[in-house]
Amino acid sequence: MAAAIDGVFPATLQELVKKSKVLVVGAGGIGCEVLKNLVLSGFTDIEIIDLDTIDLSNLNRQFLFHREHVGKSKARVARESALSFNPDAKITAYHDSVTSTDYGVNFFKKFDLVLSALDNRAARNHVNRMCLNADVPLIESGTAGYNGQVELIKRGLTQCYECTPKDKQRSFPGCTIRNTPSEPIHCIVWAKHLFNQLFGESLEDEDISPDAADPDAKEKDGDGEPKKDDENEKEKGEESKEEKEAKEDTANGNIVRINTRQWARDCNYDAGKLFNKFFNEDITYLLRMSNLWKTRKAPVPVQWDTLQSEGSSGDQKDVAKQHHKVWSIEECAQVFANSLKELSGTFLKLEGDDTLAWDKDDQPAMDFVAACANVRSHIFDIERKSRFEIKSMAGNIIPAIATTNAITAGISVMRSFKVLEAKWEQCKAVYARLRPNARNHFLVPDASLPGPNPNCYVCASDPAITLKIDTKRLRIKELRDEVLVKTLNMLNPDVTVESSGSILISSEEGETECNEGKLLSELNIVDGVILKCDDFFQNYELSIIISHFDAERDENLFEVVADASQLKPKDEEQKKDTVEAKEDDQKTATKRSANGEEDSKDDGPSTSKRSRPTEVVEEDDDDCLVIEEDEDQAEVVIVATDKLSVQSPPKSGAKRKPCEVIEDEDITEILDSSDDEPAGPTKCKRSRLDESSSNPVEVISID
């Protein structure tokens, strides 16, 4: 081991390595490499925690595991494999969740250093808060394909993991999923909802039946708005037979009010009946909403009997194993039947109210979603995908690269040496890139350590947020589960009303159960009320200022804002942006005239050099691309543009949506979801020079 050999490390560092106690959180792709590097470097007191078990797909990049380990605890097997490198090391493994109450602040305080190798945001947020409260340095790392990142988090010195806003998770309007899908991901989300309706935890907003209240299904007036009820009444006599039948069905509840799970039980999970219900009868009902198909291609229902081929049932059993093949519609029907049989058999064996949980690595569950998604895609004339592609999309998977994991883990351990020596200025974040930058570097360090965000709702001295919320529609239970737990990453919050001191939510079981079904407005939680939240386990306190708004249909019922200035009306913000843009134009007028250039109107986003992040439109929330430029590179670009000939593409007739200029880098905004986010490939709203002239430096900030 390196620390056991004199001369490998400086004497002081050698002793620090031998005596330090280190915690590794996560035993996956990065975690295995980190643990191996720590042991080989001479660390002898290590603890590792991971809740996951080893899957066959892990073996191509997690090299501490082998075929015989499949199904076993990752943490325990990683410990056994690492001890083969140094049997004298003391390694403790926990097969448990790091968010468990067994691992509180006092648990973290006993370590000199924590290395995070996690793959989900909730656990990262929790470890970030634990290390801040315990005042233990945290080395955060992550990868996304060929890109990697390592950064130090130290209380009072650097920004924490939650200081900067993370990308919004992509979501879709319910009527798009249920009525008018146009992309493969819409069909995949629908198929996952169907799985939950039949076997999983069923949620109200995951209904898969046609949405009769879809605004697009209603008649439009001259301005393109849905007609009011009185206008529709006047046209009753002009309604078609189909529209009348649709209204009758809606009134009778033939489609919308069916309890899907109970109906499937009553049918004994008959594949033919379920298939016809979801892919024939429901589609026929959608066709009656004629207004939906005036500008869209109408779906084509599929009948179960027409997809059954004779004498091929034996061959069809192997279809599900062909993960890279795009199944035919007949093969999808057969996979649907086989997976339905397996899932229903497992589900019926469960006791009480237990349900199945969808998992991308569960063979029948993944087969069911893949088959249903492809059948629905076929119906709506959407491109079908292979099982492998659907698994990646359904599980939000970015392919893991073993080399990137190894590089990232190596940098993490090298940074740990600097942390032990308290050489903080040498602990700048490092980004691994697929292609070298302008200086021919593919490992790009930050210029400096970013300081804490004074508006961060986690590490600020007096953390507070403004909660923009519809108090007339959101209930106390949803405030706890959706806002406090899922969005703000609390574990067991207690909430009191500041003005009265009354307890709204208690972490003690049953104490405030009577409040759960009540609306916020019923308990006088209205605009301007301040709530005090306390999570004893995380040692975390937060003030929440309520700002009421009336949410529209399919609009998110709440939005978390870390700075009240972000709640200004849109027209005021636009006026402010216009005034500041004019001031910037006046400041730069002298420079433009000196170059002999005429002032021109700016068609797109402001080009002023005030500090603001570059907008990136992305499809998922797994990684965040931020394009930055060095000062040296900027000079090269200025010189190169004088000799560059650029042919502009023809302008389209559609109006561009102006970029929102963020005036203050300290503002942190976390949105629950965005229905307005455009679907399609990622496009950076920034003009680039030809690659032959310059190569802008890209810094990859990975979740």
pLDDT at 423 over 50: yes
Band of the pLDDT at 587, cuts 50, 70, 90?
very low
Q: Which fold has domain 167-397+583-673?
A: Arc Repressor Mutant, subunit A (1.10.10)
Residue 31 assigned ligand-binding role:
yes
For residues 310 and 141, which has the higher predicted lDDT (pLDDT)? 141
Q: How confident is the model at residue 145 (pLDDT cuts 50, 70, 90)?
A: confident
Output the pLDDT for position 599.
Answer: 38
The residue-averaged pLDDT of 157-169 equals 84
Question: 692: which 2 tokens?
Answer: 């032959």
**Could you give the CA distance from residue 405 to residue 142 in angstroms, rounded to a whole number?**
8
Give Cα separations from 539 to 40, 152, 399 (angstroms): 35, 21, 36
148 assigned binding-site residue = no
pLDDT tens readout for residues 108-129: 999 999 999 998 888 999 999 9
* 639-648 long-range contacts, CB within 8 A, separation 24+: 640/689, 640/693, 640/694, 641/689, 641/693, 644/689, 644/690, 644/693, 646/690
Paired with 220 in beta bridges are: 226
According to the annotation, is 459 in a ligand binding site?
Answer: yes
- Which of 390-404, 428-442, 552-566 tops mean pLDDT? 428-442
27 is in an annotated binding site: yes
Mean pLDDT value of segment 244-257:
48
The three-state (H, E, C) secondary structure of 643-702, written as one string: CCCCCCCCCCCCCCCCCCCCCCCCCCEECCCECCCCCCCCEECCCCCCCCCCCCCEEEEE
Query: Over 90: is that where the pLDDT of 366 sits?
Result: yes
Topology (CATH) of 464-561: 3.10.290
Residue 231 identity (one-letter amino acid): E
Within its chain, how far is the Cα of 472 from the centroid?
28
Find the mean pLDDT for residues 332-338.
93
| Residue-level pLDDT at 33 | 96
Share of the chain above pLDDT 90, in %: 47
Task: Check pLDDT > 70 for residue 425.
Answer: yes
Closest CA to 98 of 48, 32, 43, 58: 48
Instruction: Read off the pLDDT of residues 527-546 as tens digits, 9 standing for 90 and up.
Output: 989 999 999 888 899 999 99
Q: Which fold has domain 2-145+399-426?
A: Rossmann fold (3.40.50)
At 72-97, the pLDDT tens digits run 999 999 999 999 999 999 999 999 99
Q: What is the pLDDT of residues 561-573, one digit of tens each?
A: 866 554 454 444 4
Nearest CA to 140 out of 434, 123, 156, 420 is that of 123
pLDDT for res 592: 37
175 flagged as catalytic: yes
User: Are 54 and 29 spatial neighbours (Cβ–Cβ below 8 Å)?
Assistant: no
Question: Can you tell me the distance from the alpha carbon of 32 to that of 560, in angstroms, rounded to the nearest whole number?
Answer: 36
pLDDT at 648: 39
Lowest mean pLDDT among 65-69, 136-140, 201-205, 500-504: 201-205
Lowest mean pLDDT among 58-62, 91-95, 158-162, 187-191: 58-62
Exposed, middle or buried by CB within 10 Å (0-12, 13-18, 19+), for 17? buried
Using 50, 70 and 90 to split pLDDT, how confident is the model at 308?
confident
pLDDT at 315: 54
Which pLDDT value is given to residue 238?
46
Give the lowest-confidence range in 258-267, 328-337, 494-503, 618-627: 618-627
pLDDT at 565: 54
Residue 259: what pLDDT?
77
- 26: annotated binding-site residue? yes
Q: Is residue 543 within 8 Å of residue 464, measured between CB atoms?
A: yes
The pTM of this model reads 0.64
Q: Rounded CA gap, 619 and 169, in Å?
A: 9
Query: What is the reported pLDDT for 677?
Result: 43
The residue-averaged pLDDT of 328-348 equals: 93
Residues 659-689 pLDDT 10s: 444 444 443 343 444 444 444 444 444 434 4
Residue 258: which pLDDT band, with cuts at 50, 70 and 90? low
Q: To the nearest whole number, what is the mean pLDDT of the chain?
A: 78
Please tell me the predicted confidence (pLDDT) of residue 275: 95
- Residue 703: its pLDDT value, please? 42
pLDDT of residue 168: 67
Cα 362 to Cα 395: distance, rounded to the nearest angstrom? 12
252-255 LR contacts (CB < 8 Å, sep 24+): 255/209, 255/210, 255/212, 255/281, 255/282, 255/285
pLDDT at residue number 3: 79
Active-site residue identified among 131, 175, 187, 427: 175
| Residue 50 marked in a binding site | yes
Average pLDDT over residues 302-317: 69
pLDDT for the residue numbered 239? 46
pLDDT in tens, 443-469: 999 989 999 998 898 998 888 889 999
Q: Do 169 and 396 contact (CB within 8 A), yes or no?
A: no
Domain ranges of the chain: 2-145+399-426, 167-397+583-673, 464-561
* Largest distance between two CA atoms of the chain: 95
